[in-house]
Amino acid sequence: MRVLVAGATGVIGSPLVPLLEAVGHDVVALAGSRRRSEDDAVAIALNRDALVRAVASAAPDAVVNLLTPVPAALGPRRAARHLAAAGLLRTGCARDLYEAAREAGARRIIAQGLAYAYQPGEGLADEDAPLWTEHTPRRFAPVLAALLDLERATADAGGLVLRFGHLYGPGSAFAARGSFTERVRAGRVPVVGGGRSVLSFTHADDAATAIVAALDKEVGGVLNVVDDTPLTMAEFLPAFARILDAPPPRRTPVALARLAVGGWGVACMTGLRGADNARARSRLRWRPRHPSWPGGRAPATRTR
């Protein structure tokens, strides 16, 4: 199968491309060369004529949409702004990509979504649970709107959205020199309130294996691709700090944290809901190779 990967040099694309080639697929990067930067692919995606030419030239059987302009270094106040910028690629650009793919004869479309945008609630969210459309934090609202549009566009194209959890691995914010790791190492990430957010993680390698598993299966809609063992923020941050030999995270009241990082920052610490992966395991016959943090190890210790 000839597979066009839009986002071939990103956190997921980097392990995905060699895996696709190892199992016999012919891989084409949207930017034309895997040596070119992710910015090149984003520039093509934002230029409809260039996008149509690139997809027509590739003549893919399948398209994997991993495009995102979100940089590796994100602080709590900047995150929503950069994620909103990512919405440009999750809306009109995605529709242009899918239309070009259809005209080029592609039969399969897979897109990257998020598994931590569910409405807060009890227990792990399956794919039928609503996204965070009620009492949405103001800074997250445009991100959510873009995600919903991406999922609609992918559904209209007959494709599949894989909702990934908090992504870790080489090049991610949780990598050894990643932005989140550096902030924890510096003692700049507190446990806010009770640290009630539930975090479902996804290793980049597991995201890649899920994409490969989905290519040859007639599965549409959305699937959660996350690990088996979610952690609360109150569990995660102290464990991460211990592994990094960092200061133990301080405890910060919600009201004080809101002044420092805003409502969305507080929501990330106290309101996120974990995700259930049972449907992906069943429909894709997929299993995470990284089902949890073995021995309580933090993501940065498991990068290569």
Q: For the segment 207-265, what is each residue's pLDDT rounded down to a tens digit?
A: 999 999 999 999 999 999 999 999 999 999 999 999 999 999 999 999 999 988 888 88
How far apart, in Å, are the Cα atoms of 79 and each of 31, 47, 155, 260, 300? Answer: 26, 25, 27, 14, 20
As to burial, measured by CB atoms within 10 angstroms (0-12 exposed, 13-18 middle, 19+ buried), residue 130 is exposed
Contacts of 24 (CB under 8 A, 6+ apart): none
Digit-coded pLDDT (tens) for 50-98: 888 999 999 999 999 998 744 444 455 555 555 555 555 556 688 999 9
How far is the C-alpha of 86 from the C-alpha of 147, rounded, in Å?
10
Q: What are the helix and strand counts (H, E) for the chain?
A: 11, 12
Residue 276 in this model has a pLDDT that exceeds 90: yes
How far is the C-alpha of 243 from the C-alpha of 214, rounded, in Å?
34
As to burial, measured by CB atoms within 10 angstroms (0-12 exposed, 13-18 middle, 19+ buried), residue 19 is middle
Tell which wins on pLDDT, 21 or 94: 21
The pLDDT of residue 69 is 47
- Provide the token pair at 174: 């949780």
Residue 272 in this model has a pLDDT that exceeds 90: yes
Residue 34 in this model has a pLDDT that exceeds 80: no
> pLDDT class for 47, splitting at 50, 70, 90?
confident
The pLDDT of residue 153 is 94
How far is the C-alpha of 292 from the C-alpha of 304, rounded, in Å?
17
How far is the C-alpha of 52 from the C-alpha of 101, rounded, in Å?
8
Tell which wins on pLDDT, 292 or 299: 292
The pLDDT of residue 71 is 46
